[in-house]
Amino acid sequence: MRSCRLPILVLGLATGCALGTQRFGRAIDESRIPSLEVGVSTKADVLRLFGPPTSYSRLPAVAVEERVAAPAERVPEPEPNAFVYEYREDRENFFTVLLFTRFRREVLTDRLLVFFDAGDVVRYVAFERETGEPAAR
């Protein structure tokens, strides 16, 4: 009877399992997005509703045809004309039995993009949710 318990004890000591979720950034409050009005809301309104963006982006200020037609001219870099808000969850789990390990990682990102015109007025709003339910605050 004693020899039967030893393999079970060794197997139990050589088995492991872990689950975890790492969160990056602030969750995006989806209920505030309808407050943004294209052609009316400003950068100040966006900052008041969502706080500072995760990053900034810009679109080319000059059409592609114009850049090709005048390659020798230096086109000044435009100011950032989009705020990017991101919230990310990295979900990881692993399971180990003796020499076998199974690892799984899933990265989900919620992303809000708000584009502005030259007068800092909202021109376009895009939102995508991958994380499912809003995270608890």
The DSSP result for 90-119, as a single string, is EEEEEEEETTEEEEEEEEEEEEEEEEE-TT
What integer best gives the mean pLDDT of the chain?
Answer: 79
Mean pLDDT over 98-125 rounds to 88
Other beta carbons within 10 Å of 79:
11
pLDDT recorded at residue 79: 57
Mean pLDDT over 59-76 rounds to 53
- Tell me: pLDDT of 75 over 70: no
pLDDT band at 92 (very low <50, low <70, confident <90, very high): confident
